Amino acid sequence: MKQPVSFVALALCSLQVAALELAKHPQAFDAGQGVSLILAPSADGRQALVQVRGINHPLDEVVFLTQVRELGHEQRDYAIRLDGRDYSLLNRRRAWGGESYQLNLPDTPGFELGYDQAQTQALNLDDLLALYQRQERAGLQARFAAFDRKKRLQDYSQRLQQMDREASQACDTPLATRVDWNAIDDERLMSLSVPHFCGEVVRQIAYLCERAAPYKAEARSIKGVECRFGEAMKLREENGQLLFTTRKDEPNQGDFINAILRNR
- Mean pLDDT of residues grouped by 10 in the chain (264 residues)? 40 52 95 95 96 94 96 91 93 83 88 95 96 97 95 95 98 97 93 94 97 92 96 94 92 92 88
pLDDT in the model for residue 3: 41
Please give the Cα distance from 29 to 18 (Å, whole number). Answer: 26
pLDDT score of 117: 96
CA distance linking residue 100 with residue 112, whole number of Å = 8
pLDDT of residue 12: 40
Looking at residue 123, what is its pLDDT? 95
User: Do the beta carbons of residue 229 and residue 245 sit within 8 Å?
Assistant: yes
Q: What is the pLDDT of residue 1?
A: 39
CA distance 209 to 100: 43
DSSP codes joined into one string, the chain: -PPPPPHHHHHHHHHHHHT--B-S--EEEEEETTEEEEEEEBTTSSEEEEEEES-SSTTTT-EEEEEEEEEETTEEEEEEEETTEEEEEEEEEEETTEEEEEEEETTEEEEEEEE-HHHHHT--HHHHHHHHHHHHHTTHHHHHHS--HHHHHHHHHHHHHHHHHHHHHHHTS---EEE-GGGS-HHHHHHS-HHHHHTHHHHHHHHHHHH-TTHHHHHTT--EEEEEE-SS-EEEEETTEEEEEE-TT-TTHHHHHHHHHHT-
Q: Distance between terminal CA atoms of the chain? A: 40
pTM above 0.75, yes or no: no
| Residue ranges per structural domain of the chain | 7-142, 149-262
